[in-house]
Amino acid sequence: NVKKTMNVVCNLVEKKRPKVLIAGAGLAGLSCAKYLTDRGVEAVVVESRNVLGGKVAAWKDKEGDWYETGLHIFFGAYPNMLQLLRELNIYDRLQWKEHAMIFNNKASDTPSPGQNMSSYSKFVFPSIPAPLNGILAILFSDMLTWKEKLLFARGLIPAIFGGQDYIEDCDKYSWTEWLIRQNIPTRVNDEIFIAMSKALNFINPDEISAMVILTALNRFLRETYGSKMAFLDGNPPERLCRPIVDFIEANGGKVWMKHPLRRIETREDGTVESFVVGNAVGKAEQWRADAYVSALPVDILKMLLPLSWKSIEFFHQLSFLKGVPVINIHLWFDRKLTDVDHLLFSRSNLLSVYADMSNTCREYFDENKSMLELVFAPAAAYISKSDEDIVSVTMKELERLFPQHIGPNAQLPAKLIKYKVVKTPRSVYKTSPGLNSYRPSQVTPISNFFLAGDFTSQQYLASMEGAVLSGKLAAEAVVRYLESRPMDTMESTEVASNQLVIR
């Protein structure tokens, strides 16, 4: 009897919980569901694929090796991501590296006959407060002449002290234009910022908005550990996303895999009537809730917008945001190519950053063999090429990075055992100059419809941190909306709840 009464009480409590439907189980959708759960809301997530994580998704091949959508780095300047990890008790899954930025030396495209070893240049951040640690890192690096360093440090003053308004105002310039305006020598761009621009948005400095690089530099130079980097200790779906799902489901929510949002049904007043969702056998069902969130990538959201919303300026502006192509390459070798346990900026024409994951990531650790994970960018010219072609040009680039092991002059040749290429034709939105003002807020003109996603407006870039923060902001906006609604309008409740459970 006691058990029965408890069940009834639980059901009653359950009935009082407002329900929110979220489309997309990337970091934005999962973060939104997590923070709604914290506020006593029943969060239901529908995801089209059978893998969690969206742009951090990964898969296991038949030999048990993981391959990923992208090589992912966590920064000290990711307060919302780090807080989420702490809240889930998984902060110790981050493997922090030496506080440094390591660049492959550029030299020529082909190694000179005497060049047998890969050579690196480092910006090492000493353990003293910001911005002094960043300034010393620049001054003591061997990549620039003293004159270049001083001009560079002087030019960076507004990046350090300019504040958010200054940074946003610089969205009108490309990074190259901004450098010219600051009288920073072009060689600084060639030496450092081609690599940084490709790492941040997979495009070159003449294409990227100055705001993007200034945002990163501002965080890196103002926060003592802002640029310190960490790798996750294993594959992101299991080590990062699964604990978020477990949390949501342990608190009454649910994440439905292979349940794509197919259509958004609207009422006469334009508000959302239901999400039409494909079920496990491919049939469409109408799912109703008290509020709805899209945590879809912007390119997919645009395709699913109801016709009647398309003329609304807020939604029309999304047409300016377009995903940029990028390719993530995994190369397994029969021997060790490097013992560097860090991210490397390749400074190669075709590649962006890379890492030997057999050193940097516990789950991928191998004492005797290397697994290079490399970001291939800009990728527009290669995205439709075959995997073989892409690997072939990558191997050519690696002759310069690892002359001792790869190429005709290799003294200790390494054999490529296998490879995996993951193409993302539309990844994060391309941050061309002038687009920042088109990033939508999490609150939309449709009262019961909200947006999350790295492309939405928040002070972090299109990144994991941006995605997590956008989900948190969307959750806060949804809660405000639910709390403001009249008592008799709750979709999922018979007994209206005028108070959300606040834990």
Using CB under 6 A as the binding rule, whether residue 325 contacts ligand FAD is answered as no
Among 49, 288, 302, 426, binds ligand FAD (CB under 6 A): 49
Token reading at 351: 């590649």
Residue 371 host element (H or E): strand 371-376
**Per CB under 6 A, which region of 46-54, 127-135, 386-394, 485-493 contacts ligand FAD?**
46-54
Residue 36, classified by CB atoms within 10 Å of its CB into exposed (0-12), middle (13-18) or buried (19+), is: buried
Q: Does 391 bind ligand FAD (CB under 6 A)?
A: no
Minimum Å distance from CB 97 to ligand FAD? Answer: 13
294 binds ligand FAD (CB under 6 A): no
Min dist. Cβ of residue 272 to ligand FAD (A) = 15
| Nearest in space to 215 (alpha carbons), one of 378, 77, 81 | 77
> Quick check: 372 binds ligand FAD (CB under 6 A)?
no
Instruction: State the minimum distance, in angstroms, from the CB of residue 367 to ligand FAD.
Output: 25
427 or 448: CB nearest ligand FAD: 427
Query: 104 or 404, CB closer to ligand FAD?
Result: 104
> What is the per-residue DSSP string for 224-262?
TTTT-EEEESS-HIIIIIHHHHHHHHHTT-EEETT--EE
Complex with ligand FAD: residue 49 or 288, whichever CB lies closer: 49
**How many other C-beta atoms can be found within 10 angstroms of the C-beta atom of residue 386?**
10
Q: Which is nearer to ligand FAD, 173 or 231 (CB)?
A: 231
Which segment (17-25, 250-258, 364-372, 481-489) binds ligand FAD by CB under 6 A? 17-25
Structure tokens that stand for 493 in this block: 């409740």
Contacts of range 394-400, beta carbons closer than 8 Å, 24 or more positions apart: 394/329, 394/331, 394/350, 394/351, 395/331, 397/346, 397/348, 397/349, 397/350, 397/351, 398/331, 398/372, 399/110, 399/111, 400/107, 400/108, 400/109, 400/110, 400/111, 400/348
Which residues from 412-451 bind ligand FAD, rule CB under 6 A?
424, 427-428
In this chain, which of 66, 453, 469, 492 binds ligand FAD, going by CB under 6 A? Answer: 453
295 lines the binding site for ligand FAD (CB under 6 A): yes
Q: Could you please report the per-residue DSSP string of 296-357?
A: S-HHHHHHHS-GGGTTSHHHHGGGG--BPPEEEEEEEESS------S-EE---SSEEEEEEH
The CB-of-154 to ligand FAD minimum distance in angstroms stands at 29
Binding mask 120-159 for ligand FAD (x = CB under 6 A): ----------------------------------------
Nearer to ligand FAD, 184 or 296 (CB): 296
Q: Does 56 bind ligand FAD (CB under 6 A)?
A: yes
| Helices and strands of the chain, counted as H and E runs | 18, 20
Is residue 48 within the footprint of ligand FAD (CB under 6 A)? yes
| Binders in 223-262 for ligand FAD, by CB under 6 A | 260-261
Near ligand FAD by CB under 6 A: residue from 135, 300, 312, 500: 300
Q: What is the DSSP string of 85-111?
A: HHHTT-GGGEEE--SEEEEE--S-SS-
Instruction: Calculate Rg over the CA atoms of the chain.
Output: 24
Q: How far is the CB of 352 from ligand FAD (least distance, A)?
A: 9
Stretch that binds ligand FAD, among 48-56, 185-193, 218-226, 391-399 (CB under 6 A): 48-56
Distance CA 133, CA 101 (A): 13
Does the footprint of ligand FAD cover residue 263 (CB under 6 A)?
A: no
Give the pair of three-digit tokens for residue 70: 């992208």
* Among the residue ranges 22-30, 34-42, 124-132, 149-157, the one whose residues contact ligand FAD (CB under 6 A): 22-30
CA distance 131 to 164: 17
- Contact between 272 and ligand FAD by CB under 6 A: the answer reads no
Among 176, 218, 251, 463, binds ligand FAD (CB under 6 A): 463
**CB neighbours of 86 closer than 8 A, spacing ≥ 6?**
none
Residues 6+ apart with CB under 8 A from 483: 499, 500
Contact positions vs ligand FAD (CB under 6 A) = 23-29, 46-49, 54-56, 69-73, 260-261, 295-297, 300, 326, 328, 375, 424, 427-428, 453-454, 462-467
